[in-house]
Amino acid sequence: MIFNQLSKLIHQLGDIVQKLEKMFPKRKFTLDGHLVGSLGEVWAREEYKFELLPSGTEKHDAKKDNQLIQIKTTQTNRIALSSCPDHLLVLHLDLKNPKLFEEIYYGNGEAVWEKCGNKQNPPKNGQYSISFNKIREIQKLNIE
């Protein structure tokens, strides 16, 4: 029940974005930041049966079967990490896709953290970026 309501509301957001982009064709109305992150977290709660941790909990967003999980959701093709999570779920949100969310990665957080950016030359914002292509390579290696 909640899952269907959540899906419907997210699709309504997508419809609003499309209408705004038609009205103002030289502007993009991309959902981002906390909204996309929170959408991914509540989606993961329903889809993966995670128990969400309180908002603002450092490093992890959820837990399941004594595993701590960081959930990263984006509409782009990369994520950024500021620390090494125990487990990591990476979701891509596509408002034009009926399924809405695509799982890019679900597994060991350290495997992704190791491939994030140059730890010898930390970025000013402390966020180490990694592309979906690299994450998919890591996922493929973990499956084989």
Give me the pLDDT at residue 32, please: 79
| Mean pLDDT per 10-residue section of the chain, whose length is 144 residues | 89 92 89 88 95 93 96 95 96 92 96 88 88 94 68
Question: For the chain, what are the domain ranges?
Answer: 2-143
SS3 91: strand
Give me the pLDDT at residue 143, please: 65
